[in-house]
Amino acid sequence: MELRKNYFADVRKDDLHEIGQPRPRSDSPGHVTGKTAYFADRSFPGMLHLKMVRSPHHHARIRSIDTSEAEKHPGVVRVLTAKDVPHNVYTILILIQIGPEDETVLADGKVRWKGEAVVAVLAETERAAQEAAAKVRIDYEVLPAVFDMEEALKPGAPLVNEYHGQNYYLYDSGECRKVRFGDVEAGFAGADHILEQSYQSSPIEHAPTETTGCVVAPEGNDRFTCYTNTQAMFFTLDNTSIILQMPGSKLHFVGGTVGGGFGGKVDVIVEPIAILGAKLTGRPVCFIYSREEEMQISSPRAAEKVVIKDGVMTDGRIVARKVTGYTDAGAYSRHSPYGAQKGAGHYPGPYTIPNVWIDTYCVYTNRTPSSAMRGFGVTIGDFALEVQMDKLARLIGMDPLEFRFINAYRDGDMKAHRQPTEGAALIECMQEASRVANWPVAEKYMAMSSYAKGA
């Protein structure tokens, strides 16, 4: 890595003692000697293992659940179903007042995605829990499922989630989050060229080497200590407190040494049910996702569809941009309404465009609920935007890098969501890229600056 100190040298003082120094990481000696303690490195005498019985169907009504054989299996201590969970219907963003509660801890009456948790088995050994889980009998009536976002949005599509009542998240702005800036239709009318293109991604797994999980120990004083690899301690604690209807003062969460997260460990999935198990049995409980669960059960990065329509002038100016984004939330909200909204705040990208129209939808389908991942709400949008930029440049016969200079935002430019640009540095990044990649651009672009025009 090379630091290029010549850029922005006038706004930076390099006189610090500790900041800017490549100090060794205090946690690395533990890592290289094998002594760092992750949550799963703690075990307690008498610890029980929790395994989930999961839905084999994408969408089905549960007619009946028979756990009698599982309960008789040697080593099984307790079997949990929906009725054991004090506040079974929840949603994690309720803590920032983004409802409605739309997801069950353990499925109650219905499953909405293949892999949804229905019954939890607690046993002396992992193997006993696994074997007993296979003995739980669930009678399903399979229902039609919908996987395609466009299908889901059509009238008459199977309803994925009754708590929403329609297959999209209802914002205060309606069926989507909207950004309106300038007059996009007038912009298109005056443009030399129009280009409308559609982009698509598929779900992506965080794949941390350490899977999601927790170990819970009852403390004997009516408190429970939960060793967890959550990315958000109080977020998880407070949601657990709601789900278990247990005062937060009874809960003690310990974490902060995590084998990679990338956004995959912000759902509140393993802790509430494991603590409930510990409470009902009085024994320590561990619930750790298998690699297969991590891959197909834990929330992935949402699949997205992004439709971009641009009006561009032959001189390189983009005069109008309309973006319609669809985020595939899967069967439940988790963080997706937030991610779709974050997308609305990100488009039209780091470019100054006078006429912008943005609609972002959060759509429900019968698949694994998606959630946050590194670059949440932005990564796929950037893929779409930047491929579109390449296409536009070629459409008007301009160098793709020069085309970006023409449209790059600078300090003081008004963004579509009506915040003036501050601290821009896109132009300088492109100038340096031009140099290191030996991708020459015209001298006037190399002379540009992100500082406000005329400043």
Partner 1 sequence: MAKVPVQFTLNGSEKAEFIDSGTTLLNALRDKIGDTSPKGGCHQGTCGACSVIIDGELRLSCLTLAETCDGAAITTTLGLAEGGVMHPLQRAFLDTFATQCGFCTPGMIMAAKVLLDHTPNPSRDEVIEALSGNICRCTGYEPIIQAVLRAARANSQNAA
Partner 2 sequence: MAIRRGRGVAAINYPTGMNLGGDPTQALVHSTPTGNFMVTLSSVDLGQGMKQIMAQICAETIGVPTDRVVVDTADTDTGPHCMGTFASRGTHRAGNAVIQAAREARQVMLEVAAEELEVNASDLETDGQGNILVKGAPQKSISIFDVALSAHFKRGRSISGRGMFLIPRSYPEKETGAMKPSTCYAHACTVAEVEVDDETGEVTVLTVKNVFEIGRALNPKMVEQQLVGGSWMGISHALYETTEPYYPNRDHGGTDFNQYLMPGPGDLAETKIIVLERPSADGPYGAKGPGEMCANPQIPAVANAVFDAVGVRIDTLPITPERILRALKAQAAN
User: Could you tell me the smallest distance in angstroms from the CB atom of residue 85 to partner 2?
Assistant: 22
Residue of 287, 353, 424, 445 that binds partner 2 (CB under 8 A): 424
Within 108-147, which residues bind partner 2 (CB under 8 A)? 114, 147
Q: How many CA atoms does the CB half-sphere of 384 hold within 13 Å?
A: 31
Q: With respect to ligand FES, which residue has the nearer C-beta, 18 or 27?
A: 27
Residue 30 interacts with ligand FES (CB under 6 A)?
A: no
Within 404-423, which residues bind partner 2 (CB under 8 A)? 404, 408-409, 416-419, 422-423
Residue 296 interacts with partner 2 (CB under 8 A)?
A: yes
8 Å CB contact between 441 and 405: yes
* CA-wise closest residue to 442 among 390, 406, 393: 406
Q: With respect to partner 1, which residue has the nearer C-beta, 154 or 374?
A: 374
Residue 25 interacts with partner 1 (CB under 8 A)?
A: yes
Residue range at the interface with partner 2 (CB under 8 A); choices 118-126, 133-141, 156-164, 425-433: 425-433
Burial of residue 10, with CB atoms counted within 10 A of its CB: 0-12 exposed, 13-18 middle, 19 or more buried: exposed
Q: For the window 202-241, what string marks contact with ligand FES as x by the rule CB under 6 A?
A: -------x--------------------------------
d(CA 170, CA 98): 11
DSSP codes joined into one string, 282-326 = SS-EEEE--HHHHHHTS--BPPEEEEEEEEE-TTS-EEEEEEEEE
Q: With respect to partner 1, which residue has the nearer C-beta, 2 or 27?
A: 27
Angle separating helix axes 400-407 and 426-436, nearest 10 degrees: 160
d(CA 423, CA 437): 25
Residue of 159, 258, 406, 429 that binds partner 1 (CB under 8 A): 258
Q: With respect to ligand FES, which residue has the nearer C-beta, 171 or 289?
A: 289
Report what 63 binds from partner 2, ligand FES, partner 1, none; CB cut-off 5-8 Å by kind.
none
* CA-wise closest residue to 197 among 346, 391, 416: 391
List the beta bridge partners of residue 154: none
* CA-wise closest residue to 40 among 229, 323, 291, 248: 229
Eight-state DSSP code of residue 83: G
Residue of 71, 124, 175, 382 that binds partner 2 (CB under 8 A): 382
Residue of 260, 282, 420, 440 that binds ligand FES (CB under 6 A): 260
Residue 33 interacts with ligand FES (CB under 6 A)?
A: no
Alpha helices in 76-173 (DSSP H): 126-133, 149-153
> Which stretches of the chain bind ligand FES, using CB under 6 A?
209, 260
> Which stretches of the chain bind partner 1, using CB under 8 A?
24-25, 27-38, 40-41, 43, 125, 127, 206-211, 258-260, 262, 290-292
